[in-house]
Amino acid sequence: MEPFVIPARGLGPAERRRVARHLLLDGFGLAAQERLAASRVVVVGAGGLGSPVLQYLAAAGVGTLGIIDDDAVDVSNLQRQVLHTAADVGRGKTESAADALRGLAPEVEVIAHRERLTRDNAAAILGGYHLVVDGSDTYQTRYAVSDAAAGLGLPVVWGTVLGWDGQVSVFWSAAPDGHAITYPDVFGPQPPEGESCETVGVLSPACGVVGSTMAVEAVKLLTGTGDPALGRLLAYDARTSGWDTIELAAPAPSAEVPAPATSGEHGAGAPAPGTLQEPRPTPPADARPPAGVLLLDVGLVPGAVPGAVFARLEDLAAGRFPAELLDHPADRPVVVVCERGLRSRGAEQLLRAEGWLDVTSRALVG
């Protein structure tokens, strides 16, 4: 594929020394490196996928890196979001990421966008860049990115990780030679939010594998080297360390494409609190268990389920259990509930691993 970034200047001696291994690389060389130096790339999300993407693009010599994220670093992020350290807990992710990147590659211009990307602001933010890398963790953000990038004619490198599995692809509404394809062409209309790393977990190094692959795709697109994954879905299984390639084609205008069932991490993750409004649940009659059964509510609204013991899923994961649960015999039934059944399934798995033998989960609303 032909490169679409025009070098604005040559590289100085210090820059050339830094990227010497690229200059020696067959099929890459000085021209490709100069295109990287002239490139402006924006990364959506500074989390599990954004961390390796940003690190490798900065190290590779991309001239300008934008970071979009409105979240702050939490201790639970450190398992996989390797751009941040324990000292960064509580800081904005864009601030933490920018400091790390400037320490890694001082010559890279870093632009921090500490805001949530939405359909209202996406075009204005993305419009100043050559390429978008989407490591977001909600459908709401992914479809906003896709629509804005399609309107601007920008290519999008997309990836997701959930549990043991990951996916990477390239979408581009203005791709040459009839290869135009967008995220909705493959995944259909925007669905409700699904499973996330918050509810089913994620293998930490899998984020590095998928994020690094996304960085490779970005470099190939910017420099016109190699064969980008445009029109292909790369599927990774960390259980076997195997990759499968699925050929994609934009559907005919009348075709209906089924929507995916999960959202994934950073291309895994749950929506940030307050972004998607969960309905306040009203427990159906059969949600109230008989005597001797502990009803445990892990939903988003404390006290919303009458008669239930409330616990945060994050506290359960940290081994902090309510007294009522600790006093409940391990062989007696526990029913875990939440609004849509996603968090309760994660809690069910946690409790079973801790020794409770009879645990079931259910959703309160459909």
105 within some domain: yes
For residues 140 and 224, state if they share a domain: yes
For residues 329 and 206, state if they share a domain: no
Please give the structure tokens belonging to residue 78: 């450190």
pLDDT tens, position by position, 13-55: 999 999 999 999 999 999 999 999 999 999 999 999 999 999 9
pLDDT tens, position by position, 275-328: 223 333 444 434 455 678 999 998 888 888 888 999 988 788 878 899 999 999
For residues 199 and 82, state if they share a domain: yes
Q: Is 207 a catalytic residue?
A: no
For residues 309 and 240, state if they share a domain: no
CB atoms within 10 A of CB 363: 17
219 within some domain: yes
Backbone angles phi, psi at 306, to 5 degrees: -55, 135
Q: What is the domain extent for residue 197? A: 13-247
Annotated catalytic residue, options 54, 338, 342, 364: 338
For residues 163 and 306, state if they share a domain: no
266 within some domain: no
Residues with Cβ within 8 Å of residue 13, at least 6 apart in sequence: none
For residues 238 and 290, state if they share a domain: no
* CATH code of 87's domain: 3.40.50.720
Q: Is 240 exposed, middle or buried (0-12, 13-18, 19+ CB in 10 A)?
A: exposed
In this predicted structure, what is the pLDDT of residue 292? 82
260 within some domain: no
For residues 292 and 242, state if they share a domain: no
Give, for 15, the enclosing helix (H) or strand (E).
helix 13-18
300 within some domain: yes
**Total number of domains in the chain:** 2
Dist CA 74 CA 115 (whole Å): 17
140 within some domain: yes
Place of tokens 């499968």: 244
Domain boundary among 223, 247, 271: 247
Give, for 158, the enclosing helix (H) or strand (E).
strand 155-162
346 within some domain: yes
Q: How far is CA 245 from CA 82, 219, 237, 276, in A?
A: 27, 20, 12, 33
pLDDT tens for the chain, 366 residues long, are: 777 777 767 888 999 999 999 999 999 999 999 999 999 999 999 999 999 999 999 999 999 999 999 999 999 999 999 999 999 999 999 999 999 999 999 999 999 999 999 999 999 999 999 999 999 989 999 999 999 999 999 999 999 998 899 999 999 999 988 889 999 999 888 887 766 677 678 899 999 999 999 999 999 999 999 999 999 999 999 999 999 999 987 665 544 444 443 445 544 333 332 222 333 344 443 445 567 899 999 888 888 888 899 998 878 887 889 999 999 999 999 999 887 777 788 888 889 888 999 999 888 765
| pTM across the whole model | 0.74
CB atoms within 10 A of CB 31: 12
Annotated catalytic residue, options 100, 145, 181, 197: 197
* CATH code of 348's domain: 3.40.250.10
For residues 297 and 237, state if they share a domain: no
Q: Is 197 a catalytic residue?
A: yes
